[in-house]
């Protein structure tokens, strides 16, 4: 979850080596090789990469290491650049990620990993939403269909405002209706996050659900 970095150095670009990145994935894959319900997400939100090609090389090495460890049944999520941005994938890292191969055969288990928020600067740090991102996802889905590939919206969310109830609902409805090109979505965030956190969908103290969950997320499950 460290943005393709260690101590500020980018993987295969002055930071950890490709061999080191492949090694950690080999160890993880060895542990979970027999569990077909596991999905391997290679990295959270790579960004500000000096160059794309070295990152693609690291991704391929990790995929190879996972399969060599005997984990051949699991989906592997391939992240691009620009914080795994859904808008940027088709023109930035996506064209090169299309060239990543799966030693297990085919590409149906190599799924692109994208994120997208709905606030004014796409940061997921504001209570209000200003877009439902439909144009972004229409473009992404078109690109995926052209290349016969799939993606997952693995991070999105909104604040506790009517604008987010409406826009997030619209976005998730589009993702749902775009199956199987978009295989699904996950919403940030719940679990240990306090219910006062801007994007929380953690149930309230009395056990009731947040309105964001009720109005935007649950109808699209």
Which residues carry out catalysis?
A: 45, 155
**Which DSSP state fits 220?**
G
Query: Which residues 6+ apart lie within 8 Å of 26 measured at CB?
Result: 65, 66, 68, 69
Report the C-alpha gap between 201 and 197 in whole angstroms: 9
Q: List the alpha helices (DSSP H) in the chain.
A: 18-32, 53-68, 94-97, 134-146, 162-177, 211-212
Residues paired with residue 6 on neighbouring β-strands, in sequence order: 9
Tokens representing 166 are: 């409406």
Please give the Cα distance from 45 to 80 (Å, whole number): 8
4, with CB counted inside 10 A (0-12, 13-18, 19+), is: buried
- Sign, CA dihedral 188-86-137-131, equals positive
Q: What secondary structure letter does DSSP report for 85?
A: B
């Amino acid at each position: 979850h460290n943005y393709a970095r260690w101590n500020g150095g980018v993987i295969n670009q002055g930071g950890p080596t490709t061999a080191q990145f492949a090694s950690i994935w080999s160890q993880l894959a060895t542990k979970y090789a027999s569990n077909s319900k596991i999905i391997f997400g290679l990295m959270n939100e790579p960004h500000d990469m000096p160059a794309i090609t070295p990152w693609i090389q690291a991704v391929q090495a990790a995929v190879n290491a996972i399969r060599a460890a005997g984990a051949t049944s699991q989906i592997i999520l391939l992240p691009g650049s620009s914080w795994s941005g859904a808008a940027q994938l088709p023109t930035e890292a996506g064209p090169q990620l299309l060239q990543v191969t799966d030693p297990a055969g085919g590409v149906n288990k190599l799924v692109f990993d994208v994120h997208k928020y709905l606030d004014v600067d796409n940061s997921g740090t504001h209570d209000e939403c200003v877009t439902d991102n439909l144009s972004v996802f229409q473009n992404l889905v078109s690109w995926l269909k052209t290349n016969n590939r799939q993606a997952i919206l693995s991070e999105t969310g909104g604040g506790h405002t009517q604008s987010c109830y409406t826009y997030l609902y619209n976005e998730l409805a589009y993702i749902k209706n775009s199956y199987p090109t978009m295989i699904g979505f996950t919403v940030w965030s719940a679990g240990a996050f306090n219910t006062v956190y801007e994007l929380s969908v953690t149930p309230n103290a009395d056990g009731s659900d947040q309105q964001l969950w009720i109005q935007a997320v649950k109808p699209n499950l």
